[in-house]
A = this chain, B = another copy of it.
Amino acid sequence: MSVKTLCLGALSLRDGTGYDIKKLFESAFSHFHSASYGSIYPALKQLQADGLLDCRLEPGAKHPDRKLFSLTGEGRKALVDELTAMPAGEQLRSDFLLLMFFAHLLPTEVLRDKLAQMEAYYEDELSYLKSIADCAEHSAGIAFTIEQGIQVYTAKLGLLRDRREQLLKDHREIPKEWSENSPCTD
C-alpha cells in the first residue's frame, strides 16, 4: 500500500495532478522512495473511490483533461493513521555494494569504471540535496530528511575517494580462463 501513502502525503502538501505527484517523487522524495506512472494513476483512482481524495477537472483553455486531486478530511486522517501504524524501517538495495562484495572476481578496469560511475552518482545526489537545502524554508522534518541525505552521501563519497586507490592497487585480476579447476578456494 505504499504508493497510496506516498500519494496521500504528496497531496497533503498541496493539491495536484498525477503528473505533479510524479515530479515530487523525482525531487523531494527521490532519495528515499520512488514510483512510476503505472502505479500512481491506479492508486489515485483507488484512493478517490475510497473517498480519501476529491477530484476536480480543469478543462480550461490550456489542459483539457487535467485532474486536480485534493485530500478529503478522511484522506488526511488515513495518512496520519498510516504513518502512525507503519513500522519505521528502511531498506537499502544496492547493486553497487553487491558488486563490491564480489570485486575480486572482476577485471580491474571494470572495477575502476564502476567506482567512477558511483562517484559521479554520489556527487550528483549530494549537489542536488545541497541545492534544495539552501533554496527554501522547510519544516523541521523535511530539513531532517535532506540533512540525512547530505550526511549519508558525504560519508559514502568520502569513503569511496579514500579507498579507491588502495582497492585498485590491491586488486588482483582474475585470469581470463575460468574452469572447474580454478585455484580459487574462497
A binding-site residues for B, Cβ under 8 Å: 2, 5-6, 9, 12-14, 28-29, 31-34, 72-73, 76-77, 79-80, 83-84, 86-107, 110, 114, 117-118, 121, 139-142, 144-145, 147-148, 151-152, 154-156, 158-159, 163, 166-167, 170-171, 178-180, 182, 186
B31 near A105 with CB under 8 A, answer no
B9 adjacent to A102 (CB under 8 Å):
yes
Q: Of all chain B residues, which has the CB nearest A139?
A: B104
Q: How far is the CA of A102 from the CA of B34 in the complex (A)?
A: 16
Complex partner residue of A159 from B104, B141, B148, CB under 8 angstroms? B148
| CB of A124, distance to nearest CB on chain B (Å) | 12
Closest to A168 in B: B140
15 A-B contact pairs sorted by A residue (CB < 8 Å): A6-B98, A32-B92, A32-B94, A79-B102, A84-B106, A87-B117, A89-B121, A90-B97, A100-B142, A101-B142, A104-B141, A140-B167, A140-B170, A140-B171, A152-B152
Are the C-beta atoms of B83 and A102 separated by less than 8 Å?
A: yes
Q: How far is the CA of A148 from the CA of B152 in the complex (A)?
A: 10
Closest Cβ neighbor of A100 among chain B residues: B141
Docked Cα-Cα span, A28 to B121, in Å, equals: 24
Residue of B nearest to A158 (CB): B151
State the Cβ distance, A69 to closest chain B Cβ, in Å. 15
Nearest B residue (CB) for A34? B91
Q: Besides A79-B102, A80-B178, 18 other CB < 8 A contacts?
A: A9-B101, A14-B186, A33-B97, A76-B182, A80-B106, A83-B102, A83-B106, A83-B110, A84-B106, A84-B107, A88-B117, A92-B93, A102-B141, A103-B140, A144-B163, A147-B159, A148-B156, A151-B158
